[in-house]
Amino acid sequence: MESTQSTKHGIRKLIIALSIVIPLVVAALFKVKIEGYDWHFLPSIYACINGLTAILLVVALVAIKQKKISLHEAIIKVCMVLSVLFLLCYIAYHMTSDPTVYGDLNGSGELEQYELKTLSSASKIAYYLILITHIILSVAVIPMVLFSYLYAWEGKYDKHRKWTKITWPLWFYVAASGVVVYLMISPYYPN
């Protein structure tokens, strides 16, 4: 029994560590640039991964409402794998590409006067509002997803349900808003 308790305690510590380390590593890797690779195709792939995750999260919700527990569990596992795959593609793209500036029509990396004039304030505000909430919630959702999954795995279904009432909408928002951010920034990606 003591071994089981220490294992559970160790898993909780691992979730907390991952929740701290993953965002820090991603932020640190943004400063690393690997030259000589053209991975401009990755944003469309990770946008599709986000879209698929959002769709599967809805299917998982429907499955659990219909008491199809095995299907729900399998879909959630797929969503977790897709989230890791998204993260790897996202990191690979940003390590091999210069940042894209919203509204930068000529790809110079800076907004020039004529580009500023073509951007509406509303579209800029909407883009940055969605982007900022997407980033913040993508960090917050890491421990929430992992703890929600852990509670189900441990058979603590009441706790699992309480956590997923908050986790599911946030995870869905992160996945869906990732697609929206891509659609808004994609006209400014270099060719």
Q: pLDDT tens across 46-105, in order?
A: 999 999 999 999 999 999 999 999 999 999 999 999 999 999 999 999 999 888 888 877
Say what angle helices 42-65 and 69-96 make with each other, to 10 degrees: 160
Closest Cα to residue 23, out of 167, 166, 130, 141?
A: 141
Alpha carbon of residue 32 to chain centroid: 20
Closest Cα to residue 48, out of 109, 98, 5, 89?
A: 89
Domain at 86, CATH number: 1.20.120
- The domain containing residue 65 runs over which residues? 2-188
Alpha carbon of residue 69 to chain centroid: 24
Count of domains forming the chain: 1
Q: Are 72 and 160 in contact (CB under 8 A)?
A: no
Better pLDDT: 117 or 2: 117
